Amino acid sequence: MKIVKADADLLKSRSRCLICMIAASFLFLLMQPCLVFAGDSRDRYFEAEAAYKLLRNNPAKQKYRQHWLECVKKFEHAYKNDPSGAWAPPSLYMSGKIFIELYRRSQKTADKNEAVDNFERIIKKFPGSKYKSKAEDEIKKITGTVVANKTAGKKDSGYREEKKDVKEEKTVKIEPVSVKQEEPEKPVDLKKEKDRNEQVKTPAEPEDTIKEIIAADNLKVKYAAESPVPKSNGVVTVTNLRYWSNPNYTRIVIDTDGETEYNHKLLKQDPSLNKPQRLFVDLTKSRLGDNIKKVIPI
C-alpha cells in the first residue's frame, strides 16, 4: 500500500510539472508574435531606407515618379507591420519626407497633402515620440516654402511692415519716395511684375484650377437656385463626386447644386463577413445628376 501511494504522489508531481511546462510554452508562443512583428518592422524599415538611399544616388531614376512611390510603399509596409510599434513613427516620417521631395518636383497639391497627412498622424498617434517635434518642424517648412515661392507675397509683406512703421512714427517720408517711383518707372515696373507673375503662376496652376472649378460650381448653384424646380420641391442634385485615394486614406468630396441636410455613419470592420471599415453618407431630398453614375469604384 505504501508503494502504491508513493507512485500516486510521484504521478501527481509529474503531472503538475507537465502542466506548468505546457502553460509556460503557451505563454511563450503568445509573446512570440510581438517579437516577430518588431523584428519584421525593423528589417522592413532598413530595407526601405536602403532603397531610398539608392534612389537618392541615381539621378536617372529620380525623374520617374514610380520609383519614389515604390520607396513610399516600402516604408508603409514597415509601418503597417506594427502600427503602434517603435518603428511606426520613423516609417511615417520617411514617407512624409519622400512626398515633400515629390511635391518639389511635381508641384502637385496631392503630394503636399500626403506629406502633411503623414506628419499629422505622427503628432496625433505618437505624442511622446521624438519624431513629433520633427513632424511639426516639417509642417512649418512646407508652409514656409509655399509662401517663399511667391515673390510678390514677400514684397507685399515687406511693404505692409514699412507702412506700419511709418504710421507709428507719424512721418510723411513715403510721399516723395512714392512719387519718384510711380511717375518715371511705372511702365518698367509693370513689365517686371508681369514676368514675375508668370513665373509665380506656373507652380500655382493647381490652386488656380481648383478656384476655377469652385467658381464654375458656384455659377451652377446660382442658376439652379434661380430655376423653379428646386424651389417647388426642395430637391438638390448631386453634380459631381471627387475623390483622392492612397494606401493610407481616402478623401471624398460630394458637390451639390444647393444646401441640404445629411446623415453619416462609420461602420466597423467585420472580418467574419470579409467586410472592411465603411462610411455611408445619406443626403436628404437629393437625387443624382444625369452625368453621375450610380456605382463609382474608388
- Asked if 99 and 139 count as a contact pair (C-beta separation under 8 A), the reply is no
- Asked if 122 and 132 count as a contact pair (C-beta separation under 8 A), the reply is yes
pLDDT of 217 reads 52
pLDDT in tens, 186-219: 444 545 544 554 444 433 334 444 445 555 555 5
Measured distance CA(67)–CA(199) in Å, rounded: 28
Which parts of the chain register pLDDT below 70?
Answer: 1-15, 17, 20, 24-39, 144-232, 244-249, 298
pLDDT of 52 reads 95
- Please name each of the domains of the chain with its CATH number: 2-148 (1.25.40.10), 151-201 (no CATH), 229-288 (no CATH)
- Cβ partners under 8 Å of residue 158, min gap 6: none
Helix and strand counts by DSSP (H, E) for the chain: 10, 5
Q: Which of 65, 67, 134 is nearest to 94 (CA)?
A: 134
- Asked if 255 and 242 count as a contact pair (C-beta separation under 8 A), the reply is yes
Which grid cell is 34? Answer: 510581438
pLDDT of 150 reads 37
pLDDT in tens, 216-268: 555 544 444 444 434 447 888 888 878 766 656 677 888 888 888 888 887 87
